[in-house]
Amino acid sequence: MRLRRVSAIAAAVAVAAVTLTAAVSPVPPADPPVSLPVLTSHALSVRYAASARAARAAARSGDPALARTLRTLSHEHLLGFDARGQGEAVEVLGNLATARRVAVLVPGSDTSLATFASRGPASPAGGARALAAQARRLDPGARLAIIAWLGYRTPSLLSLSVLTSGNAGQGAQALRPMVAALAGQGDQVALLCHSYGSVVCGLAAPHLPVTDIAVYGSPGMDAGSVASLHTTARVWAGREAGDWIRYVPHDRLLGVGFGTDPMSPSFGARRFGCGGAGHSSYLQPGSESLRNLAYIALGQPGKVTR
């Protein structure tokens, strides 16, 4: 009870702070989303080569931390790359030209180019590798590609912007055309959205041609229910028993907060089992959450455990 009171007070203070600072701290405009090439081996090779050249040039820029991060990336499969500011990267695991299903990992706050591959399975690149390995174990013949997508400026966990959907709106604007292009070329797409990334997916969801949207460690989807997402996708929600996100107030007031808890029965999402770890452990090898997310990525909902 004490923790709920503290959370409520913190939310109220944040409302006042956001109201006072909104005029002087606008969210910067997003860059135009990078277009997706035709999904042929040749077109993808051209794109991968261009992104690899950009990554190698950035690695020689004199920033040691950036250089260390870029050494861990598979430069041969970067669909997009931008070293400016926090940085953006879109990495592909698997053969996107022959895939029939594509899973897009959408990360949450405190994710940048510097952390894109530096935190093991808690980072987009490391999580994508863990998911790919799990999917191969479950269905070795599946034609699945996985995209670790850092295509927006994520907010800092200690900033006021993490309490609002401004950055998420930019992310949704960038995510939609890529997903629509994938679906338009015949792929079945699943969105796997962690933490603040689930706000991105909630804003992108309306009428987006995806088969599944799975949110985990979610503060909300900026929506009151699955029906208000206006999607035909299967919507999934999971949360580790030890995840601190459960204590975030699920309200929306003066632009602060993200609405109903996706784990609430009233929201209407399909629940999937996650185990008892914490906020950054959903793609940890051997975990129940990773196995279930792999089944969702593979389009095998009947095998998902609750």
Domain containing 145: what range?
Answer: 2-27+77-303
Q: Over 80: is that where the pLDDT of 14 sits?
A: no
Q: Over 70: is that where the pLDDT of 15 sits?
A: no
Q: Is position 34 within any domain? A: no
pTM for this prediction: 0.88
Q: Is position 66 within any domain? A: no
Q: Is position 285 within any domain? A: yes
Specify the pLDDT at position 149. 97
Q: Is position 157 within any domain? A: yes
The residue ranking higher by pLDDT, 85 or 236, is: 236
Q: Is position 177 within any domain? A: yes
Q: What is the dihedral of CA 293, 297, 298, 299, to 10 degrees?
A: 100
d(CA 84, CA 150): 13
Maximum mean pLDDT: which of 31-40, 73-82, 196-205, 247-256: 196-205
Per residue in 274-303, pLDDT (tens digit) is 999 999 999 999 999 999 999 999 999 999
Maximum mean pLDDT: which of 77-86, 136-145, 159-168: 136-145
User: Can you say whether the dihedral through the CA atoms of 218, 220, 221, 225 is positive or negative?
Assistant: positive
Three-state DSSP at 160 gives helix
Q: Over 90: is that where the pLDDT of 61 sits?
A: no
Specify the pLDDT at position 73. 72
Q: Are 108 and 155 in contact (CB under 8 A)?
A: no
What is the percentage of the chain residues whose pLDDT exceeds 90?
Answer: 69
Specify the pLDDT at position 218. 97
> What would the mean pLDDT of 203-208 be, rounded to a whole number?
96
d(CA 280, CA 290): 12
Choose among 210, 73, 83, 84: nearest CA to 129.
73
Domains: count for the chain? 1
Specify the pLDDT at position 75. 65
- Amino acid occupying residue 23: A
Q: Is position 290 within any domain? A: yes
Specify the pLDDT at position 55. 87
Q: Is position 259 within any domain? A: yes
Q: Find the CATH number of the domain harbouring 11.
A: 3.40.50.1820
Range scoring the smallest mean pLDDT among 38-52, 161-175, 198-212: 38-52
Cα within 13 Å of Cα(36), Cβ side: 23
Per residue in 102-132, pLDDT (tens digit) is 999 999 999 999 899 889 999 999 999 999 9
Q: Is position 45 within any domain? A: no
Q: Over 60: is that where the pLDDT of 188 sits?
A: yes
Q: Over 80: is that where the pLDDT of 8 sits?
A: no
